[in-house]
Structure 1
Amino acid sequence: MAEESVKTISVKDLVRKVLNHEELFILDVRNTDDFDDWKIEGKNIHIINAPYFDLLEGVDSIRDKLPSDQEIYVICAKGGSSEFVAEQIAEAGFSNVYSIEGGMKAWSEHLEPIKVGDLKNGGEIYQFVRIGKGCLSYLVVSDGKGAMIDTNRMLNPYEEFISEKNITLTHIFDTHLHADHISGGRKLAEKHGADYYLPPKDAEEVQFEYNHIHDGDEYTVGKATLKAIYTPGHTIGSTSFVVDDQYLLTGDILFIDSIGRPDLAGKAGDWVKDLRTTLYERYKELTDDLIVLPAHFMTAKEMNDDGSVAEKLGVLYQQNHGLNIDSEEEFRKTVTENLPPQPNSYQEIRETNMGKISPEEEQQREMEIGPNRCAVR
């Protein structure tokens, strides 16, 4: 009976439930340190932690914490331990128990495409939400042509989407040299014969050919126009894009509820001034009606009701604390003293994105495990 009572659910189906704000009860059976560092979050999620090794003899120790009137979803690191614990829960008399397929590894890698809006000259812009990692990438589509921005290394979701919509990729951009996740931009460009672009100030050590992005450059994708704006601070080369005077893709410079950290290349002291100039001068020159589309989000609180992560620039200047620090000295202090821990394997990730090392697929997964930490707290 236990095996019949235990079901599995894919991360894709679970993500839809999260984005639909369904009431979910999740039991995470990873070690407590791993759970405390990084977990599934969402508007109506109730999640508890009970390590797998504490449940080998049964679930009596957590029985009173398990709901009898709703589904129970069990997750672990890779999907194996959760199946065992789910069976234990079913044997204890609970029904509708699910093991989450692939565990937190699968959760980390899922990409959910969400339409952000229409372009004024015809076309659309889509946001690919990597909900388990907080990464956001973008596809600008116009007249059957497409441009990808800040591509993740999992290429299948992008390729399935562009194939389904019959899109020809022409341009692929990275707003900066990423340090928290491995870029799939160059590989996607090679597969589709598209041009790959990177800011040259971030690319002094890269081991491959690329097209340079310069301040003021404009790129035509169908009837859409992407204009590059040099916006250093997170990295020395960080570049933003204005799409059809409607959307501002900020990379890791400006988020919905925070601002980018300047230290992932060991240059925090040097780049704080650049960061302030970008946030307090360069972006100030732009219209408040631009919709900010960042490359990351920190928590589920930054997500809109449809799952997208976006807000008007003018609203952020009113509500984002990082944009409302009058004193330069106080800004420097805030930025340098409120940095979270470095992203896992960030130096190896940077070297991978430079083309200096080529880790195997499983090693790349391990390098990316954990939350993104690109923001000032």
Structure 2
Amino acid sequence: MVETITAEELRDMIDADEDFILYDSRDPESFEDWHIAEAENVEYSGSNDELVGEFDEDDIGAGDTVVTICATGNSAESFAEYLEREGYAHDVKTVEGGMESWSMVYDVAPIATSNDDLVILQLQRRSKGCLGYVVGSKSAGEAALIDVTRASDEFVAAANERGLKVTHVFDTHIHADHISGGRKLANKLDVPYHLGAPAETRDPQFEFDAIEPNDAVELGDVEIKAVHTPGHTTGMTSYLVDDEALMTGDTLFVESIGRTELQFADKDARDGARVQYNTLQNVIMTEPNDVKILPGHFSVTNDGEYVDVTPGQPMFSTVGYIWENNTLIRQSEDEFVEHMFENLPSKPPNYEQVIATNAGEYEPEDESEETELELGPNRCAATEESTVADD
């Protein structure tokens, strides 16, 4: 009998480097757009219960474990039953909820701090490369959440498990690749929802608790200071936590920098890149070398490969390391601006509709539409490959 497993159990099998074969039964186009790195594509029709793609039964050994996955779980379950029925595999598992469930798998990674009172937790959405944060004060028992995704319960649970009550919710900017859960969560908890005051340039259709550049929110003795870092968007605001860590949103990543043309376009595109250059050179890189850079994303290829990071492990760098090793940041301004437009990745799927949703201009009909808008990896970096040179 085919066993059903959760997406989290699949994650654990991958992380434990277990020996198994993973088949993705979606159509080839959907598979090429976005899939798990370990998967092989064999198209199977769940509605017709028939094999569509090519499949070589000799690829499965007598003692092999086989796992199947598809978009929502339907065709993968049918394919798993087919493999078992035809005698091709005897240990067959199928992933409940398919890639939709995989898209909502989270890891929680604590970030080491020098202040014993300070708690920083990094929540990693491994399929899309989204990163969000819990920042808390142990003594005050309070926490702020930064860049909360739709899976807001994951953030609240991470805070509560450490005895912290959520008192503030922040977004670094109006996101283009995923739907923010910050505003709805803040309303639900009846706590302030903060954007940097420059976010008014994006004309959000809702009220928020604006935080001016260089102003701070306090959790007991822990300070979260707003740092205006335009470039990815005009309203982009990073948050400096206790002079130890800078949550940079989509301005600066561990392996690359944020693209600028999603907001800045046409004749303004190069102006946006110059704004980004100024932010990197004259704002972020002027912080002390040991300040941790905690980004809003990490890069995941369409093939499901992770660029310069390992899911489940803390993903951060430092100002000093990035200055010494990020080849884009060491370029002249003109070189930087031209480089930003030579090899840009394709834009995030449905990014205009996602921006409209996060700006309060559009309301998806239901959770299914939200899931559809978000499917696939983020494409917020200006490069597909790492721009950080090896030591």
Fold match (TM-score > 0.5): yes
Q: Pick from 355, 362, 366: which aligns with 2:372?
A: 366
What is the aligned partner in structure 2 of residue 25 from structure 1? 21
1:259 positional shift: 0.7
Alignment of 1:1-377 (within 5 A): 4=1, 6-41=2-37, 46-53=38-45, 56-57=50-51, 61-91=55-85, 92-118=87-113, 120-143=115-138, 144-204=141-201, 205-267=203-265, 268-299=269-300, 300-304=306-310, 306-324=312-330, 326-359=331-364, 360-377=366-383
Name whichever of 95-104 and 63-72 sits farther off.
Answer: 63-72
After superposition, the Cα gap between the structure-2 partners of 1:60 and 1:200, relative to the gap in structure 1 and judged at 3 Å, is: closer
Distance 2:197 2:245 in 1: 23
Name whichever of 172-181 and 284-293 sits farther off.
Answer: 284-293
Distance 1:345 1:198 in 2: 23
In structure 1, what residue type is equivalent to 2:36?
A: I
1:59 positional shift: 8.6
Q: Tell me the TM-score normalised to structure 1 length.
A: 0.91
Whether the 8 Å contact between 1:203 and 1:354 is mirrored in structure 2 is no
What is the aligned partner in structure 1 of residue 389 from structure 2? none
3-state DSSP class of the match of 1:104? helix
After superposition, the Cα gap between the structure-2 partners of 1:47 and 1:361, relative to the gap in structure 1 and judged at 3 Å, is: closer
Distance 1:103 1:72 in 2: 15
1:198 positional shift: 0.9
1:64 positional shift: 2.9
Residue by residue, what CA displacement relative to the aligned partner does 1:176-214 show, whole Å, maximum 9, x if unpaired? 110111111111111112111112333342121111122
1:114 positional shift: 1.9
After superposition, the Cα gap between the structure-2 partners of 1:156 and 1:27, relative to the gap in structure 1 and judged at 3 Å, is: same
3-state DSSP class of the match of 1:322? coil
Whether the 8 Å contact between 2:224 and 2:241 is mirrored in structure 1 is yes
Structure 1 consecutive aligned stretches of length 4 or more whose deviation exceeds 6 Å: none
Name whichever of 222-231 and 186-195 sits farther off.
Answer: 222-231
In structure 2, what residue type is equivalent to 1:273?
A: R
After superposition, the Cα gap between the structure-2 partners of 1:34 and 1:340, relative to the gap in structure 1 and judged at 3 Å, is: same
Name whichever of 181-190 and 104-113 sits farther off.
Answer: 104-113
* Percent identity of paired positions between Structure 1 and Structure 2: 35
Runs of at least 5 residues in structure 2 that lack an aligned partner in the other structure: 301-305, 384-391
Q: Tell me the TM-score normalised to structure 2 length.
A: 0.88
Whether the 8 Å contact between 2:251 and 2:276 is mirrored in structure 1 is yes
After superposition, the Cα gap between the structure-2 partners of 1:263 and 1:66, relative to the gap in structure 1 and judged at 3 Å, is: farther
Whether the 8 Å contact between 1:138 and 1:150 is mirrored in structure 2 is yes
Distance 1:209 1:368 in 2: 24
Name whichever of 311-320 and 190-199 sits farther off.
Answer: 311-320
Residue by residue, what CA displacement relative to the aligned partner does 1:130-170 show, whole Å, maximum 9, x if unpaired? 11111000001213100000010122222333343342111
Aligned residues: 368
1:123 positional shift: 3.1
Distance 1:161 1:63 in 2: 44
3-state DSSP class of the match of 2:90? coil
3-state DSSP class of the match of 1:343? coil
In structure 1, what residue type is equivalent to 2:147?
A: D
